[in-house]
Amino acid sequence: GAGVSQSPSNKVTEKGKDVELRCDPISGHTALYWYRQSLGQGLEFLIYFQGNSAPDKSGLPSDRFSAERTGGSVSTLTIQRTQQEDSAVYLCASSSGPETDTQYFGPGTRLTVL
């Protein structure tokens, strides 16, 4: 079916506002990852969901960041009280399960905090 989709593709917000970023994984994929890519940098792991298990939040940079995954499918990454250093591309990836390394990435959401 379709690949990983993310929305919005671009988001500009003011410092201090909350933002929500959405990820639709590939249908049937049980594993979902969020990464952050700052300008000129590699990707930085944020959070991982696998099925109904508790998410691995070890990569979240602060308590302003949180994520949910409803019904084992769509995921939302929320950043509260955004700061300028939060500006980055946020990428979502899914894989068919924990036994595979092949993560398929979405196009990302470019977040700009003014």
Residue 18 or residue 83: which is nearer to other proteins going by CB?
83
Q: Which of 11, 64, 96, 107 binds other proteins (CB under 8 A)?
A: 107
Is 5 or 13 the residue whose CB approaches other proteins more closely? 5
Residue 16 gets the label, from left (phi > 0), alpha (psi -120 to 50) or beta, of: left
3-state helix, strand, coil in the chain (%, to 5): 5, 45, 50
Query: Which residues 6+ apart lie within 8 Å of 67 measured at CB?
Result: 34, 46, 47, 49, 55, 57, 60, 75, 76, 77, 78
Would you say 4 and 96 are in contact if contact means Cβ atoms under 8 Å apart?
A: no
In the bound state with other proteins, the residue whose beta carbon lies nearer, of 79 and 91, is 91
Structure tokens at 4: 């990983």
3-class DSSP state for residue 84? Answer: helix
- Judged by CB under 8 A, the stretch of 12-20, 70-78, 80-88, 89-97 that binds other proteins is 89-97
User: How many residues form the binding site for other proteins (CB under 8 A)?
Assistant: 29
Q: Least CB distance from residue 17 to other proteins, whole Å?
A: 24
96 binds other proteins (CB under 8 A): no
Is residue 60 a contact point for other proteins (CB under 8 A)?
no
**Contacting residues toward other proteins, per CB under 8 A:** 4, 31, 33, 35, 40-45, 48, 50, 56, 58-59, 91, 93, 95, 98-108
